[in-house]
């Protein structure tokens, strides 16, 4: 599968860039994962200038290793703060692509629970309106437009609210054509559940990137996802509590040898600041934006993955995802 013939303009936090200029792209990352209620109520632990400086340092390190673009999949539920991202983006020469959507693994925040169109009050689906506002008007009044849609399932499976988010994401995708990125639990084969919901909602699964597929060595599961047309996010390099480095690399090399290179993307799911505590960071000392370039790509080459295949996973596939998922203008009623 080749790259689209015509480049498109991709909005970033600091302006638009041509899709053929994205370069080496990390497709599933976070700059900051925050907890606004905690930061507002316990400000003694919040040092904004310091975390901005640290993010700038880490992104500059990634740039020095050849990374040109990062997709920041921080959305509702993960503490997205687009103005904080702008502070960072203004100081680095790296493209940061923002997302809309919701990270919900069990229940939505209460304001949305009480605005459930299938609940006792009924009404419109406000999630769709908010996601589309992020895409067409910009996030939080900044004019920074989202270029990807994010959703999640996890070990709890399709709770009412999780399924509600998936349906909203599918609806927004059908309106906008933007790519869908997911978080999923590979151990429970959650990507198949996501594909089923999206398929029933009329989503072309070639526009879906099933996240965290690198957390498993279950090749039959991964082949089933690929057979349905989706991309696989081999996107947790640096985090080795679920699957070790050698096995993660071996799975990617095996899929490349089987001809699936054009459906794989490589990333870390890392962040510059993680509000969830220091224990996870201590567990993963190499969970940085440079891990793939420094360690993963050499390991893949040693297993026979060619320079052309690496180029495809790191450059061509990201470009194709955004070109095939070019924004469709909203239909305006006469």
In this structure, is residue 330 part of a structural domain?
no
* pLDDT number for residue 93: 98
In this structure, is residue 20 part of a structural domain?
yes
pLDDT in tens, 8-38: 999 999 999 999 999 999 999 999 999 999 9
In this structure, is residue 4 part of a structural domain?
no
Mean pLDDT, residues 270-289: 83
How many residues does the structure list for the chain?
334
In this structure, is residue 334 part of a structural domain?
no
The better pLDDT of the pair 123, 95 is held by 95
What's the whole-number average pLDDT of the chain?
A: 95
Does the pTM exceed 0.85? yes
In this structure, is residue 178 part of a structural domain?
yes
Work out the angle at residue 178's Cα, subtended by the Cα atoms of residues 191 and 330, and round it to the nearest 5 degrees. Answer: 135
* pLDDT number for residue 1: 47
In this structure, is residue 147 part of a structural domain?
yes
In this structure, is residue 2 part of a structural domain?
no
Token couple for 281: 């960071």
Mean pLDDT, residues 127-145: 98
Domain count, the chain: 1
In this structure, is residue 1 part of a structural domain?
no
* pLDDT number for residue 122: 82
Residue 95 forms beta bridges with which residues?
69
pLDDT in tens, 308-327: 999 999 999 999 999 999 99
Domain that holds residue 229: 9-324
Can you tell me the distance from the alpha carbon of 179 to that of 112, in angstroms, rounded to the nearest whole number? Answer: 24
* pLDDT number for residue 275: 85
Can you tell me the distance from the alpha carbon of 63 to that of 65, in angstroms, rounded to the nearest whole number? Answer: 5
CATH of the domain at 253: 3.20.20.140
């Amino acid at each position: 599968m080749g790259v689209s013939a015509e480049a498109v303009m991709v909005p970033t936090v600091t302006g638009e860039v041509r899709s053929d200029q994205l370069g080496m792209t990390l497709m599933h990352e976070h700059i900051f994962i925050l907890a606004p209620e905690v930061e507002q109520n316990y400000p003694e632990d919040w040092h904004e200038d310091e975390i901005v400086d640290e993010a700038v340092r880490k992104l500059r390190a990634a740039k020095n290793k050849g990374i040109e673009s990062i997709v920041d999949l921080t959305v509702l539920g993960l503490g997205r703060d687009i103005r904080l991202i702008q502070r960072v983006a203004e100081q680095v020469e790296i493209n940061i692509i923002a997302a809309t959507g919701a990270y919900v693994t069990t229940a939505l925040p209460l304001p949305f629970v009480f605005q459930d169109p299938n609940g006792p009050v009924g009404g419109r689906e406000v999630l769709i309106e908010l996601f589309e506002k992020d895409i067409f008007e910009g996030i939080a009044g900044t004019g920074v437009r989202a270029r990807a849609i994010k959703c999640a399932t996890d070990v709890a499976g399709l709770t009412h609210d999780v399924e509600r988010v998936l349906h909203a994401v599918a609806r927004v995708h059908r309106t906008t054509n933007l790519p869908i990125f997911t978080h999923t639990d590979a151990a429970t084969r959650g990507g198949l559940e996501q594909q089923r919901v999206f398929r029933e909602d009329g989503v072309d699964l070639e526009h879906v990137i099933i996240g965290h597929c690198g957390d498993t060595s279950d090749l039959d599961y991964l082949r089933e996802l690929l057979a349905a047309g989706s991309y696989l996010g081999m996107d947790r390099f640096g985090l080795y509590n679920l699957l070790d480095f050698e096995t993660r690399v071996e799975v990617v090399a095996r899929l490349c040898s089987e001809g699936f290179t054009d459906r794989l993307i490589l990333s870390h799911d890392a962040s510059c600041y993680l509000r969830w505590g220091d224990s996870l960071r201590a567990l993963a000392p190499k969970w940085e934006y440079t891990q793939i370039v420094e360690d993963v790509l050499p390991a893949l080459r040693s297993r026979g993955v060619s320079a052309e295949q690496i180029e495809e996973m790191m450059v061509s596939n990201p470009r194709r995802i955004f070109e095939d998922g070019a924004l469709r203008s909203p239909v305006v009623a006469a």
